[in-house]
Each structure stands twice: as structure tokens, then as C-alpha cells.
Amino acid sequence: MAEDLILELKGITKIFPGVKALNKVHFQLRRGEVHALMGENGAGKSTFIKVITGVHAAEEGQMFLEGQEVHFKGPRDAQEAGIAAVYQHPTSYPTLSVTENIFMGHEDVKSGMIQWRNMNAEAQKLLDSLDADFKPTDEVGALTIAQQQMVEIAKALSTNAKIIILDEPTAALTANESEKLYEIVERLRDEGKSIIFISHRFEDMYRLATRVTVFRDSQYIGTYDVDGISNADLIKAMVGREITDMYPKEDIELGDEIFRVEGMTRTGYFKDVSFDVKAGEIIGLTGLVGAGRTETIESICGITRPDSGKVFLEGKELTIKEPVDAMKAGIILLPEDRQKQGLILSWGLGRNVTLPIQGELANNGFNDEKKERELAKQRLEEVDTKAVTIFQPASSLSGGNQQKVVVAKALAQSNMKVVIMDEPTKGIDVGAKKEIYEIMGQLAKKGYGIIMISSEMPEIIGMSDRIFVMCNGKVSGCLQRSEVTQERILELSMEKSDSKKGGAA
Amino acid sequence: MAGKSGREISAVPEGGIKSKLLSWEGALVLILIGVNILGVAISPNYNVNNVLREMPRYLAEIFMMFGMGYILVLGDIDISVGALVCLAGTVTVLSSNAGAPFIVAVIICLGVGLLGGMLNGFIATRFTELPTMIVTLGTQIIFRGIAEVLFETWGNGGGTASMADTKGLMLLAKKLGPFPIAFFCVIIVGVIMIVVLAKTTFGRKLYAIGSNKTAAYYAGIKVERIRFICYSLLGFLSGLCALFLLTATFGSNTTTGQGFEMEVIAMCVFGGIATTGGKGNLTGAFIAAFIIVCLRIALGQRNINTQVILVIIGLMLIISVLVPSISSAITARKKRA
Ligand SMILES: Nc1ncnc2c1ncn2[C@@H]1O[C@H](COP(=O)(O)OP(=O)(O)OP(=O)(O)O)[C@@H](O)[C@H]1O
Ligand SMILES: [Mg+2]
């Protein structure tokens, strides 16, 4: 049976200093299919994509596009050949407009003049086709993550690509927004485009893909029909071992109230938010993207100033003016955006982990590098970071491993009483996810209070004792573990007047 | 405890003597030696004694350079400090001429520097949306403007002010053995500034801010307070610069300190500090400063026009910032071949 392959890669090897990121991997993409690419953090998925798009030159291997061997010297060649990619970490220009971002590199130019009117009209068409709720003239930096994602997709579409590659597009999206993305992908598929879709979320794969290829430890493990492989077998292919009991939530005796927020308000962001956490309790905070979850906890932690509101720790009211005040009190924040807020990408992993506590480890203001190294190594290994040394720059890690460094950094803070985790498992593979859940369980057992913001329904439901749902900047409800269902959360995340529209989406 | 997979991460620092010698600082030491050989070759007067005698007026700038190094590591810039030297020097001269004892004049000199730096720091940290280049361009004009008003009102006319009582300054210009006092002061200040930047938590915070301000803030660093401290420190060191400059000039005029800020930025960049922040160290800058000083003295002894000297230094600067891109281009080509 002759398959209609639009893209085929054979024996691809890519070596970075000290790491073989890809070791003779294969890949076949059929015309008009949605093909999932899965595997552990650091398995080489993103690197593979960058080999396809000519960002990285492979040391070995061949690539065939519609049967013809091709050699791309750079992203431009791939673009011209009809391949477009949305990368894992956004490559947009935040201060430029949506139109400028979409047409960056292939502007519509007539006799040296940029045709703004044409481009804006063209951009509007693309946005309409994606059902986007923003304008071509909007500044990209002011958009939500989901909207920025859409800009990147519009950018990919603007080149009229035949092959579209999406690297973890749903990592930052809630169920509703993911649904919207699914619909876009399905439409593109129906239009005859071929799509490679990377994700750590199984629901993405089940919903969209007909076939799935798995990489592990830089190697090709296999390609399977989604219908023909069980979830357990797929997980085993991905992580090399079996994983049972994904959410190891233990019932532990809850202590007294450890943390309470009262009447937090910041005009235009959130209003009158109150909640409490008991010692040993895991609180889930969810809602749609844009519901004000991140903004609320950023105000709690002193990143931004609320207009009003009180924060109590162990019954005592705190005055938090700056992040350092929250930290000193023992409220530790694991921020949402690992590349901008969580890490110094040019620094080694070790220094990143110990940055918030370098003062505690130091002797009279002098850095104790030895202590720092030991502690960093220990914490990084605890979350199973895939790295060679603690000195390699954070930028050289895969996305999921960068996230693990952010987790390790939060855990290194010894005076922790309450930890607020904003999307802690964003982009993390199944195996490591479970380890982070286990760590959360251990922290709870030790009597810490844990607040987890997450857009991922299964993890919110699987791990939380209580779930606070936010909608349009307000807490719309609180659900006990015993009464929680996906439907109830969704109901609470959508505004009453909006519920018809949202329900149909 | 290693993770589930039992993967280990190495925590053994690499490096050692070889990587030290291959570093940019190693290269700078070689260049410094080269410049001195060149000096001896082109000028019969180029010897230790003469170099040390001509050094003080250049040494003054090096104080300022250390402060500028901190500011650049933060990812900021301060172009007002040349004018601040003029202002501090002028106020010192005028107050001494008005009868202030030398020790008071010294305190005034350092105090004016510190206050000027604090003003920069205050504006830069209060109005964080303003680019620091613009803030300090503004204060540069203000500092020099005030100095000029002072000249006109109390100076010796013609835009100058010279110190009547130079006894105190002569004392500071003295030598201990062959070395001027300024030389020792530069070394002491330099060692402290180098060690603080390289070894302390304070220094690490500067690199964190210069590398990613947002992440530094999230990690609990008081970003604005540290920026304020660094601006104030640079101001204070500019006061010190003004003081030691007086030991060579005994007065100040409208052009005093002009271009200092650019020269010290050049020293820092030549020494490997990136103006984009977060990179480089003061050891490199310290060596680079001496390279530039020795080069100027050597070329000056050959009566080479100062403008030509500036062209040469400018070229060196551009080449030095190109070195990393050139060497990475070479390794990339090697790899491809
Ligand atoms: N620029 C680089 N320099 C050095 N090593 C790199 C670089 N980019 C990636 N690597 C290494 O290559 C390996 C594969 O990384 P890659 O980003 O492809 O993983 P991934 O499968 O996309 O993982 P994730 O699910 O976490 O995104 C990792 O070990 C990573 O550390
Ligand atoms: Mg990736």
C-alpha cells in the first residue's frame, strides 16, 4: 500500500554540546492527517520540530517533502516550501501590532512601501477565520496568552502552509480555549492541511489525532494508531515504565486555618476575592483564562498593589508591599511564566534555584558557592530535571525541564508556610507531573498550605481538597472535593448571562 | 535523593587554570603587556617613573569606572557623571577659596558627588518608565549648567576657577615610594568593588537584575533599592574622581570631566562588560583601564594628537566587542567543515 506521505524524515541525529538531542529518529506524516508527537520532557520533540523548519541543522539524516529530498538552510526555506510552525515559547514581538507580528518577514511591499491597508485587511480575514475577538491593530503584548497563541497560528496560516506544526499550543489554555483550538485544527485538517501536534495532554491527542509518534530519550519509539493503543501502553512507551494512580491524593487530617485572604480588590482585574487555606490543605483555584486568577495571587504576593484587601498568615495580618515581604513571611510564589518571571535563562540552573535564598546560605554577605551547589543539585534531582550539570544555562533545557527548575527553586525556600503554584505542571510530562503531585502531597502532610492555580481540569479535580472557581474577577463559587464535577466547575467559570453562548462553544 | 529515573546532575565546577588563561581577562593581560612593549618601542621616555608620574590624572577616571561597571551590569547607564565631576570640583574649589578648610572641602567634594548620584538614582527609580539614558542626559545638562553659573558668579572669570590654597591637594598628590597616593587608593577601591561584585549576594543581585529584571523582582530582590544604591555609589566615586583630578589640575573649568562618562564606559566595555546588562566583571574592566591609560601615555609621549588617540581607542573598543561574534563565527565554520 503506497501511503500518501507529505513529509518523511529518516535517521535524524542532532547533537548539542554534551547532549544527543535526537538519535536517528524517523517520522512520517500523511497528507491531511493530524499527527500527535509525544514523549517525556527533553525527549527531543521541540528540537525535532526545529530540524524540520530549518532552525537547527541536523548532523545526520534525510528529509523528504512530497517525495523529494530537501535541505533547508534556514526557517525561510521551510516557510517557502509550505511548512509553518508555532513554537513552544512564543516568538512574537510584544510591542508590535498583531498585523506586524503576523506578517513579520513576509510583509506586503509594493515599490518599497509597506501596504498597511492590505495587510490589516488580510490580518482581519485570518483573525475572522479563527473567530478571534481582538483587532489586527492591537498590541500583541496586551493580549492574553490564548490570544497570543492565536496570533501565532494566524502567522502560520498567513504563509499558506501545507504543513502546520504546533508545539504544545494548549499548555496554557483552559478547557474552553482548547476546545476553540481543536475546532481550528479540525477545520485546517478538513481543508487538506497536514498537522503535527505536540502536547503532554492526552485529551488533546484523543480529540484530534489519528496517529501518534512517541520519542523517548532522543530516540524514536514507535508510531501508533490512536484507536489501536491503550492509554497504559502509550504511557509506558513514553516514560518507559508504568504509571498508576496519577493523582496520589491522600486524605490527611487538616489543621487550623493557616492562610486567609479577605476582600482583595484591584479595579479592572479582580473584585472582593476572599478565600482561606487550612494547614495541610490543597486549594485549587480555577476559571477561564482571564478570570483574574494570576492577577489575584500576584497582588497577594506583592508583585502588584491591590486597591484593598487583607492577607492573614496564621491569624496575623501581613503588610505586603513587595515580593520580598511575602517571601520573608513564608508565602512562596511559583510564577506562571517560566521564561519571563521564573528563570534567568542565561544563568546556570544552580544559580537560578538558589537565587531567592542566596542570602540565607551566605556567610556575612559572601556567597557560599559550595552550599549553593549542593542544595541546587539536590533540589533539581528531586524533581528529576533532565540536565547534565547545574552550570548549564537554563535556556539549554527543554520547556518542561525549565518548568521543573522553577519548581525546584520554589521548593528550595526553607521557610515556606504557604506555597502558591501558578500552573505548576504547565508543559510537564506525565511521569514528572505525578512526581510534582507527590511533592505537593508531601508538603501537605508536613502541614503547609498549598494553593494551586490550574487550567487543567483533571489535575484540579484530582488534587484539590477544595476548589475556588473564579469568573470575571470574582470568586463565583467554592466546591468541596466530594461534590466536585467537571460540569459544576464549568458552570461556575462562566457568567450567568454568558452561559448560553459558552455552553454552545 | 535522585529522582525516579535516578538521573544524576553534576555539581562539579569545571574550569581551572586553562579556562582562566583562555578567558577575555587572560587576553587583556596579554594586551596590557603588549601595550607596554609598544610604549617602550615607540618612546624613549616610556619607563616606570614617567608612566607613574603621568598617571594620576588618568587614575582619577578609574574610580568612576568601578561605579559605572555596577551600573552597566544592572543594564542601566549613567552619562551625567562627567558633568558631575565638573560640578563637584567647582564647588570644592569655590568653597576652599571662600575659606573652607581642606578637610571640609574634601567632604564637600564627595558629598556633592553622592548627592548628584542620589538625584540620578531617585529619578531613575521613581520614574522607571523613563530610559536612564534620557534621565542622565537631563541631569548632565543640569550639573554642568549649575557649574557654569557658579563659575560666572564666583569664579576667576573666563569659565575657570582655580584653587588658591593648594597645600591640601599637594599632600594628596604626594608619592609613597614611586607610587602616587591615588594609585594605592585606586587599588584599594578597586579590590573592594571587584570582590563585592564577584563574591557577595549584593553583587549577584546586580547580575540578576541585569539579566532579567522581572525574574529578579519575583525572586524577592528589591530591584529599585539596589539601583538607587548603585547610582548613589557611582555619584560618590565621581566625587572621588573629582578630588583626585584636582590634585593634577588644581582647578576646574567648563570642560572639566567632559567625556569622562564615555571613556569609562569604553573601559568597561573593553573589559568585557555588556551594556545590555548581566555580563562581565570588573577585573576585566580594571585591566582594560590600565591598557587604555598606558596607551594614552605612550602615544602622548610621541606627541600624537589626542584626536588620533581617541580614534585608536575607538577602534580597539569596536574590535573588542566584535571578538565574541568573530570567534563564534569561526567555530561555526569549523563545525560545518
Ligand atoms: N540550545 C540547546 N543547547 C543545548 N542543549 C539543548 C538545546 N536545546 C535543547 N537542548 C537539549 O536537547 C534535549 C531535547 O530538548 P527538546 O527541547 O527537544 O525536548 P522536548 O521533547 O521538546 O521536551 P519538552 O516536553 O520539555 O518541551 C534536552 O536534553 C535539552 O536539554
Ligand atoms: Mg519542547
A335, A344, A367 ranked by CB distance to B201: nearest: A367
Among A90, A215, A94, A91, residue whose Cα is nearest residue A143: A94
DSSP notation for A348-413: BHHHHHHGGGHHHH-BTTB--HHHHHHHHHHHHHHTT---SBTTSBGGGS-HHHHHHHHHHHHHT-
* DSSP-based three-state secondary structure for B16: coil
Tell me: pLDDT of A145 over 80: no
- pLDDT for res A470: 92
Whether the model clears a pTM of 0.90, i.e. scores above it, the answer is: no
The answer, for B221 touching chain A at a CB cutoff of 8 Å, is yes
SS3 B136: helix
Cβ burial, residue A107 (10 Å; 0-12/13-18/19+): middle
* DSSP assignments along B243-270, one per residue: HHHHHHHSEEETTTTTTHHHHHHHHHHH
Query: Of the candidates B202, B220, B222, which has its C-beta nearest A356's C-beta?
Result: B220
For A215, half-sphere exposure in the C-beta direction (CA atoms, 13 angstrom radius) is 28
Per-residue pLDDT tens digits for B243-252: 999 998 888 8
- Residue A8's H or E segment, with its range, is strand A5-16
Residues A188, A194: Cα–Cα separation, whole Å: 8
Q: Cβ atoms within 10 A of the Cβ of A191, count?
A: 8
Confidence of residue A499 (pLDDT cuts 50, 70, 90): very low
For residue B221, which residues of chain A lie inside 8 Å, CB to CB? 324, 355
Percentage of residues in chain A having pLDDT higher than 70: 97
**pLDDT at residue A468 above 50?**
yes
Among A residues 323-382, those touching chain B with beta carbons less than 8 Å apart? 323-324, 327-328, 333, 335, 340-347, 349-351, 355-356, 358-359, 362, 365-367, 373-374, 376-378, 380-382
How far is Cα A429 from Cα A200, in angstroms, rounded to an integer?
Answer: 6
- C-alpha pair distances (Å), A279 with each of A443, A448, A466, A483: 10, 5, 13, 21
Radius of gyration of chain B (CA): 22
Phi, psi of B319 (to 5 degrees): -60, -40
- Cα–Cα distance between A128 and A107 in angstroms, integer? 20
Residue A141 clears pLDDT 90, i.e. is over it: no
Looking at the DSSP bridge assignments, the partners of residue A25 are A12
Helix/strand/coil percent split, chain B, to 5? 75, 5, 25
Q: What whole-number percentage of chain B has pLDDT above 90? A: 52
| Grid cell for residue A239 | 516514560
pLDDT of A474 strictly over 50: yes
Question: Does residue B314 register a pLDDT over 90?
Answer: no
Please choose, from the candidates B89, B77, B281, B226, the residue with its C-alpha nearest in 3D space to the C-alpha of residue B169.
B89
Q: Is the pLDDT of residue B16 over 70?
A: no
Whether residue B206 is predicted with pLDDT greater than 80 in this model: the reply is yes
Residue B305 belongs to a domain: yes
Determine which of A280-289, B1-10, B308-317 has the lowest per-residue pLDDT on average. B1-10
Tell which wins on pLDDT, A163 or B332. A163
Summarised one tens digit per residue, pLDDT across range A45-62 is 999 999 999 999 999 999
In a domain, B335, yes or no: no
In this predicted structure, the answer to whether residue B1 has a pLDDT above a threshold of 50 is no
Give how many domains chain B has, as a whole number. 1
- Between the CA of A28 and the centroid of ligand 2 the distance, in Å, is 19
- Report d(CA A115, CA A112) in Å as an integer: 9
Confidence of residue B322 (pLDDT cuts 50, 70, 90): confident
Q: Please, which residues have CB within 8 angstroms of residue B299's CB and are 6 or more apart in sequence? A: B42, B308, B309, B312
Q: Is the pLDDT of residue A471 over 50?
A: yes
Q: Which amino acid is at B111?
A: G
Geometric angle at alpha carbon A327, from A323 and A330, rounded to 5°:
150
For residue A327, the chain B residues in CB contact (below 8 A) are: 220
Per-residue pLDDT, averaged over A381-392, amounts to 90
First to last CA, chain A: 40
Residue A161 to residue A192: CA distance in whole angstroms: 11
How does residue B51 score in pLDDT terms, banded at 50, 70 and 90?
confident
Q: What is the 3-state secondary structure (H, E, C) of A154-193?
A: HHHHHCCCCEEEEECCCCCCCHHHHHHHHHHHHHHHHCCC
Strand partners, A66: none
Biggest alpha carbon distance in chain B?
80
Task: Over range A269-287, report the average pLDDT.
Answer: 93
* Residue B4 within a domain: no
Whether residues A387 and B219 touch (CB distance < 8 A) is answered with no
pLDDT of residue B95: 92
Q: What is the pLDDT of residue B15?
A: 67
Residue A497: predicted pLDDT: 47
Arithmetic mean of pLDDT, A306-335:
93
> What is the Å distance from ligand 2's center to A379 Cα?
22
Alpha helices in B174-274 (DSSP H): 181-199, 201-211, 213-218, 223-249, 260-270
In whole angstroms, what is the distance from residue B105 CA to residue B95 CA? 6
Nearest to A89 by CA among A386, A342, A430, A293: A342
Average pLDDT over residues B39-62: 86
In a domain, residue B334? The reply is no
Query: Mean pLDDT of all residues in chain A?
Result: 89
Element (H, E) at A422: strand A418-422
Q: How confident is the model at residue B332 (pLDDT cuts 50, 70, 90)?
A: low
Least confident of A220-229, B129-138, B286-295, B307-316: B307-316
- Say whether pLDDT at A188 is over 60: yes
Within 13 A of A87's CA, how many CA atoms are on the CB side?
A: 16
- Atom number in ligand 1 closest to CA A43: 21
Residue A289 has pLDDT above 80, yes or no: no
Of A398, A428, A433, A436, best ligand 1 pocket probe by most atoms within 8 Å of the beta carbon: A398
Please give the span between the terminal C-alpha atoms of chain B, in angstroms, as a whole number: 43
The protein residue whose alpha carbon is closest to atom 25 in ligand 1 is: A41
What domain range is B106 assigned to?
A: 62-326
The number of residues in chain A equals 505
pLDDT digits (tens, 9 = 90+) for A58-111: 999 999 999 999 999 888 899 889 999 988 877 778 889 999 988 887 787 788
Burial A223-248 (b: 16+ CB within 10 A, else e): ebebeebeeeebbbbbbeeebeeebe
- Span A439-445, average pLDDT: 89
C-alpha span between B288 and B272 (Å, rounded): 9
Residue found under cell 564615555:
B262
Would you say B267 and B289 are in contact if contact means Cβ atoms under 8 Å apart?
yes
ipTM of this complex: 0.87
Does residue B307 form part of some domain? yes
Angle at B253 between CA B314 and CA B78, to 5 degrees: 45
Cα B115 to its chain centre, rounded Å, is: 18
**Mean of all residue pLDDT scores within chain B:** 88
Interacting residues of A34 by C-beta distance below 8 A, sequence separation 6+: A185, A186, A189, A195, A197, A208, A209, A210
Averaged pLDDT for residues A241-267:
86
pLDDT tens digits along B117-139: 999 999 999 999 899 999 999 99
Helix axes B260-270, B282-301, angle to 10 degrees: 120
Q: What angle do CA B279, A394, A196 make, to 5 degrees?
A: 130
- Give the pLDDT mean for A322-344: 92
Helix ranges, A288-357 (H): 293-300, 323-329, 349-354
Taking an 8 Å cut-off on Cβ atoms, the answer to whether A389 and B5 are in contact is no
Helix axes B81-97 and B260-270, enclosed angle (nearest 10): 130
CB–CB contact A345 B8 (8 Å): no
Give the span between the Cα atoms of B246 and B256, in whole angstroms. Answer: 10
**How does pLDDT run across B79-113, given as a tens digit for each residue?**
999 999 999 999 999 999 998 899 999 999 999 99
Q: What is the pLDDT of residue B174?
A: 85
Q: How many helices (H) and strands (E) does chain B have?
A: 15, 4
Q: What is the nearest CA distance from A196 to chain B, expressed in angstroms? A: 28
At A469, the pLDDT band (50, 70, 90 cuts) reads very high
Contact by Cβ (8 Å): A386, A42? yes
Q: Which of B218, B126, B223, B206 is nearest to A323 (CA)?
A: B218
Spatial separation of the C-alpha atoms in residues B257 and B80, rounded to whole Å: 10
Q: Please name the residues between 3 and 62 in chain B that touch chain A, using a CB distance below 8 Å.
A: 3-5, 7-14
Contact A324 B200 (CB under 8 A): no
Q: Which of A335, A355, A381 sits opposite B208 (nearest CB)?
A: A355
Distance CA A502, CA A500 (A): 5
pLDDT bracket for residue A1 (50, 70, 90): very low
CA of B276 to the centre of ligand 1 (A): 26
CA A105 to chain centre: 26
A140 with A91: CB under 8 angstroms?
no
Tell me, what's the pLDDT at A494? 80
Comparing C-alpha atoms, which of B172, B184, B193, B246 is closest to residue B65? Answer: B193
**What value does the mean pLDDT take over residues A208-221?**
93
Q: Does any CB of chain A come closer than 8 Å to the CB of residue B212?
A: yes
A344/B5 CB distance under 8 A: no
Average pLDDT of the residues in B327-332: 68
The residues with which A30 forms a beta bridge, in sequence order, are A5
Predicted confidence (pLDDT) at residue A316 exceeds the cutoff of 50: yes
Between CA B2 and CA A128 the distance in angstroms is 50
pLDDT, tens only, A157-179? 888 889 999 999 888 777 777 88
